[in-house]
Structure 1
Amino acid sequence: MASQFAVTGLTKTYGSNVVVDQLDLEIEQGEFLVLLGPSGCGKTTTLRCLAGLETPQGGSISFGGRQVFDASTKTDVPAHKRNIGMVFQSYALWPHMTVRDNIRYPLKVRKLKQAIADGAVEKAAEMVDCGALLDRYPSQLSGGQQQRVAVARGLVAQPDLVLFDEPLSNLDARLRDQVRSQIHQLHQSLGFTAVFVTHDQAEAFALADRIAIMKSGKIEQYDAPEHVFENPVSEYVAAFIGMGNRLELRRGHDGWITSANDIIDLSNAVVRDQADEGNAAVARFRPDDVQMHASMDDVPAGNVALHAELVTYEYAGRHFDVLVKTGTEQLSLRAGAAEHSATLRASAPGTPMVISFSPSSLRVYAHPDGARVTVPELVAPGVGDRS
């Protein structure tokens, strides 16, 4: 079955700077796709090309089989004829219009008089808990209220595609979680098709049916959130989704050796040729995967143990965020406050300690190019390795 929305070979440049580079995307009807990546990776430009706010230099875009852009035939349907809804980072509400008039605007420009008469504006406002705000102006609303109004405006005309351009980044942490949850609930109940741009991995995992992680105008990985989380296809993806701990490894006679000369036994099961050529690899893993111990005797059976020393720690309620050094590298871990508070508070920087982690928490990549190295026994059960 053909995808409802398709992007093929999309290319956007500004002078000699290639911002979107031969990008392909397929979005199914009712799917919530998240474009995830750092600033400058091309995700917002891709969104603006979908909206018709930017004109690409190459490629094509189709909505439901209808070409809205094709560089080869010079087709370029203007934004107001693409039947999209858009929710901006800056809310972009008309300051001289009431909430009612802001939400009604997409219906008015589409000349959907019957929808207005049938109470579509009021229904949209109620969906986002803004029914009591219809006669207020944007200046009389909080940031969270303004963004909920913007979401209602984006959905009120039941567009073919709803585009979200980092809509939560201007909100404080509490409001960000509330509005994110509300968007998720609306998608579950209404089933609209959406493309959501963010640099926040937590937002991406919470909202997405699929995630497209972008790097330098290209898609590095395009997959379900669970597969991205368990099997990042490159070191770039692993680092971006929270595998902040990085160990450089060199091959020795008894296994892989760290910069602290500790041995990590992966049973020489690295099967990619590029790992064997350089005899070097990089292991990535999350702070949550690391445990802290007073001595080697406390390390659980089967765990990899490393000698380390304390750098610093920060209290975070039920846990401490701890930074340790092993060899030339610094690693982060989370230590339970109930178990480790007394030890940490009595420890000065430089105090020796032992850390450990399960080999299954590691994702191993070739060094220096960062491609995924397949280690069969490290693949999570029930999760396909998409590398």
Structure 2
Amino acid sequence: MTSKFRVSGLTKSYGTNVVVDQLDLEIEEGEFLVLLGPSGCGKTTTLRCLAGLETPQDGTITFKDRMVFDGQSHVNVPAHKRNIGMVFQSYALWPHMTVRKNIQYPLKVRNMKQDIDRGAVEAAAEMVDCAKLLDRYPSQLSGGQQQRVAVARGLVAHPDLVLFDEPLSNLDARLRDQVRSQIHQLHQKLGFTAVFVTHDQSEAFALGDRLAIMKSGKIEQYDAPEHVFENPVSEYVAAFIGMGNRLELRRGHDGWMTSAGDSIDLQRATVRGLADKGTAAVARFRPDDLMLHRSMNEVPAGNVALHAELVTYEYGGRHFDVTVKTGTEELTLRANAQEHSVALRESKPGAPMVVSFSPSALRVFAADTADADAARQLAAVPAEAAA
């Protein structure tokens, strides 16, 4: 694939607040790019700059070798001339128009009458399982149906670029999974180029060919989902993609120790940016990397065992979501209900526990106060999303 969509040095500020900071992106034709990050990181503003709905102060945006924005030469192609499709979080369907007319709208404003006559509207509705809804109004549709209509409207004119602004966030969990799967299938079938904004890492991993994880208006990591999942470049990225467990480490005369005084050998861990003489580090790992044991005798050979105490547990059917405390830190894990139900239900907060993990599960970073503060501000990661 050749790079067809380029963003270079993009900067957008509101007063003194820099929201997008000298951002660079390259999007391949046919690629599904996901902008991932917490609220306020600049992902939606970046999307709106691509759409022409926001005017940056500086930088360039190129679509298929066509300059649509250049801050230096004052080029700024308006949104309706950028040949984009847009799918909004709020559906944004015209309430006085039928489904047919909503889907038809992008064709009409582009004077694509032949496509209308050839059945493009009906074909787009069929793609998203809405062919039977063409004569209904948005108020007669469920949230999932409205969003599928919005997707059909975004694709019907075969735009150069389809932009998705958190389109699944207003749907309940079941519908969210259904519409997400449908978008994925449509991309596989049609091969359109897309930029998708979300704060949900499970959506990002499921949909993205590449992920651009954003922090403070910049891209912290830009890579394939598998590489981001296995090799986060910073503690911030690790925390955001589900490595919710955090251990502060100190180097002593006998090696690395946790805050509780347990020894950890980092030879099998993945280490980034840790100087040979550094004395402080932080280790990140996922809840499903942590195991609960009834005694030290159950700890697998080679695992790091930690003495802990129970904080709380929540029943989840076939599992318990368990929180324990070791030293000054709280860790979460998922325990098999059949194996641990009796012991957990008989335990009260403060009861002694044994947990362990393989050192190979750790991603270790040099201690960075700013990075740690940003990581702590991220929303708690649900165990199912981290798995």
* Structure 1 and Structure 2 fold alike (TM over 0.5): yes
The answer for the alignment partner of 1:376 in structure 2 is none
Deviation at 1:265, TM superposition (A): 1.4
| CA 1:147–1:351: 2 relative to 1, 3 Å | same
The answer for the alignment partner of 1:214 in structure 2 is 214
Give CA-to-partner distance per residue, 1:84-117, whole Å, 9 cap, x none.
0000000000000000000000000000000000
SS in 1 for 2:266: coil
Deviation at 1:278, TM superposition (A): 3.9
Equivalent-residue separation in structure 2 for 1:261 and 1:249 (angstroms): 9
The answer for the alignment partner of 1:16 in structure 2 is 16
The answer for the alignment partner of 2:42 in structure 1 is 42
| RMSD of equivalent CA atoms | 1.6
Equivalent-residue separation in structure 2 for 1:269 and 1:105 (angstroms): 54
The answer for the alignment partner of 1:258 in structure 2 is 258
Q: Is the 8 A contact 1:84 1:162 kept in 2?
A: yes
Aligned positions of 1:279-290 closer than 5 A: 279-290=279-290
SS in 2 for 1:8: strand
1:122 to 2:122 alignment: yes
The answer for the alignment partner of 1:185 in structure 2 is 185
| CA 1:77–1:316: 2 relative to 1, 3 Å | same
Equivalent-residue separation in structure 1 for 2:349 and 2:10 (angstroms): 51
Unaligned runs of 5+ in 1: 373-387
Aligned positions of 1:134-149 closer than 5 A: 134-149=134-149
Equivalent-residue separation in structure 2 for 1:324 and 1:157 (angstroms): 53
| CA 1:254–1:113: 2 relative to 1, 3 Å | same
Runs of 4+ in 1 over 2 A off after TM superposition: 267-278, 368-372
1:359 to 2:359 alignment: yes
Deviation at 1:271, TM superposition (A): 7.6
| CA 1:284–1:134: 2 relative to 1, 3 Å | same
Q: Is the 8 A contact 2:5 2:26 kept in 1?
A: yes
Equivalent-residue separation in structure 2 for 1:3 and 1:248 (angstroms): 41
The answer for the alignment partner of 1:292 in structure 2 is 292
Deviation at 1:253, TM superposition (A): 2.2
Q: Is the 8 A contact 2:35 2:195 kept in 1?
A: yes
The answer for the alignment partner of 2:158 in structure 1 is 158
Equivalent-residue separation in structure 1 for 2:195 and 2:270 (angstroms): 37
Equivalent-residue separation in structure 2 for 1:274 and 1:128 (angstroms): 49
Unaligned runs of 5+ in 2: 373-387
Q: Is the 8 A contact 1:233 1:371 kept in 2?
A: no
Aligned positions of 1:173-252 closer than 5 A: 173-252=173-252
What percent identity do the matched residue pairs reach? 81
Deviation at 1:223, TM superposition (A): 0.2
Deviation at 1:272, TM superposition (A): 6.7
Deviation at 1:269, TM superposition (A): 8.5
- For 1:71, give the aligned amino acid: G
1:91 to 2:106 alignment: no
Q: Is the 8 A contact 1:213 1:220 kept in 2?
A: yes
1:337 to 2:347 alignment: no
Deviation at 1:295, TM superposition (A): 1.5
Q: Is the 8 A contact 1:255 1:267 kept in 2?
A: no
Give CA-to-partner distance per residue, 1:258-304, whole Å, 9 cap, x none.
11111111249898775444401000000000001122111000111
Equivalent-residue separation in structure 1 for 2:41 and 2:186 (angstroms): 28
Deviation at 1:318, TM superposition (A): 1.2
Q: Is the 8 A contact 2:210 2:222 kept in 1?
A: yes
Equivalent-residue separation in structure 2 for 1:279 and 1:85 (angstroms): 51
SS in 2 for 1:4: strand
Q: Is the 8 A contact 2:268 2:359 kept in 1?
A: no
Deviation at 1:369, TM superposition (A): 5.0
The answer for the alignment partner of 2:29 in structure 1 is 29
1:75 to 2:75 alignment: yes
Deviation at 1:29, TM superposition (A): 0.5
- For 1:203, give the aligned amino acid: E
- For 1:20, give the aligned amino acid: V
| CA 1:267–1:142: 2 relative to 1, 3 Å | closer
- For 1:42, give the aligned amino acid: G
Equivalent-residue separation in structure 2 for 1:80 and 1:25 (angstroms): 22
Q: Is the 8 A contact 1:256 1:264 kept in 2?
A: yes
- For 1:345, give the aligned amino acid: R
- For 1:223, give the aligned amino acid: D
Deviation at 1:371, TM superposition (A): 7.8
Instruction: Tell me the matched-pair count.
Output: 372
Deviation at 1:370, TM superposition (A): 7.5
Q: Decide which moves more: 158-167 or 277-286.
A: 277-286
* TM-score normalised according to structure 1 size: 0.94
